[in-house]
Amino acid sequence: MDTKHRLILQRHRRNLVTALNPADICDGLLSKGIFTQDMIEEIQNKPTRRDKARQLVTDLEMRGNQAFPAFVECLRETGQHDLAELLQSGDGAHLPLPIPVQPSPIPLPVQDPTYTEKPDRPDLTPPVVLPLRPVVLPVPKPISPPSERMRQNRPRRDSIQCYKMDARPCGICLIINNVDFEPASELKDRKGSNIDCDKMEKRFKALNFEVIVKRNLKNKYIKHEMSSLAKRDHSAYDCCVVIILSHGTEATHNRFPGAVHGVDGPAVPVQIITNYLNGQNCPSLQGKPKLFFIQACGGGEKDTGFEVSPDEAEPSLGGIDDQMDAIPMSSSSDSLSTSDELDARATLPTPSDILVSYSTFPGYVSWRDTQAGSWYVENLDLVLEENVATDDLVTMLMMVNNAVSQISAKGLYKQMPGSFNFLRKLLYFQPSQS
């Protein structure tokens, strides 16, 4: 499919997932050679109509040049005219007409060969018209670019597919919420973090997760909770989520940067936290997505941003009392014991099926409003609420990145979230049906 048509499908994905009736359209796409029988069966095996529609649109984007016009034609044939008009308009784009249909044959008049025309004799019998077999001119087939032809002939693979996310519950969501720090830690209490915790607890319960909340954990108890989570049997689940709300700092690493502080002061590196759930340490999560959301500073550096033209910026001021989730002048190695470093290097395999979403860029501070919660969690919750029914996780995290990047602390400081993404497939949450 060419880029223009793919962008139109992506632009109207929400409308398609909301209104499309896949059951009516699958046969048409199969008969036109756009989908294979295996693809149709995969769509039909999805549990809900929305899931079927989402899978259909995802597969459609991977087909050839004729997929889009055939899809529009199928919409019209099945009475889904509003969706057809929405796609055909393309916000002003003039799209190609549907796949041409062979014209009906028209007989050509032929005179009787025994008749000799004599224009001076008007009294002669008019010529006899004999019907012959109709002549049908072949309809030329559009020639696809070489790369497109190769794509159509290539066997269908599972490289761009969706994770199974329909278990009930979908998985366990562990939230570690560190608010009250011990005086010896020299870290301030994290006012406003309970707001973040409540939002995430409600959000992931709505996404069919079993939510476990742990508060004010010391360094060793963060590791203990992660170890307990890894020892559970996740065979009946499709996913696992860990959300950590705490102070943070830099740390030496070879895969995932950053570390999060226990309320007693010492920090646990993020790469060790993820290591508990890798395929070797938690076999029942092998091949299943492991998601980590880290609301903590990645270091002590403050970002003042850079100047852009007015039409590129949508400035938004932070709260009245914005605080940092960082410990100033912290050492990267203070929180790492020798045994922890060796353990991480010895047992951490390639981190497939893991995504770590950070509230801020490594090395920089992360801002939190004491009245409204952190910028990152507030926008993550909002984006999930508005887009979870139609968009995949990575797309939604880009929306979060953009929203947070528009905010300024004290009218000066900026923040840029980001992710380390080692997922192999698209991930769509399955919200509870209201």
DSSP codes of every residue in 42-106 = HHHTSSSHHHHHHHHHHHHTTS-TTHHHHHHHHHHHTT-HHHHHHHHHGGG--PPPPPPPPPPP-
CATH (residue range 171-421): 3.40.50.1460
Domains of the chain by residue range: 3-92, 171-421
CA distances from 329 to 120, 250, 278, 333 (A): 114, 10, 32, 12
Mean pLDDT of 300-313: 43
Is residue 198 very low, low, confident or very high in pLDDT (cuts 50, 70, 90)?
very high
CATH (residue range 3-92): 1.10.533.10
| More confident position, 319 or 7 | 7
Q: Residue 243: pLDDT above 50?
A: yes
Q: Residue 335: pLDDT above 70?
A: no
pLDDT digit string, tens, across residues 27-78: 889 888 898 888 888 888 888 888 888 888 888 888 888 889 999 999 998 8
Annotation says 224 is catalytic: no
Q: What is the structure's pLDDT at 411?
A: 60
Q: What is the structure's pLDDT at 235?
A: 96
Annotation says 261 is catalytic: no
pLDDT digit string, tens, across residues 22-36: 888 888 898 888 988
Q: What is the structure's pLDDT at 211?
A: 98
pLDDT digit string, tens, across residues 366-379: 677 777 788 899 99
Pairing of strands 367-369, 322-324: antiparallel
Among residues 12, 247, 253, 261, the one annotated as catalytic is 247
Among residues 26, 74, 239, 297, the one annotated as catalytic is 297
% of the chain with per-residue pLDDT over 70: 68
Q: Residue 156: pLDDT above 60?
A: no
The per-residue pLDDT of the chain, averaged, comes to 76
Q: Residue 131: pLDDT above 90?
A: no
C-alpha to C-alpha distance for 390 and 58, rounded to whole angstroms: 11
Is residue 408 very low, low, confident or very high in pLDDT (cuts 50, 70, 90)?
low
- Among 3-7, 271-275, 378-382, which stretch is predicted with the lowest mean pLDDT? 3-7
Q: What is the structure's pLDDT at 90?
A: 65
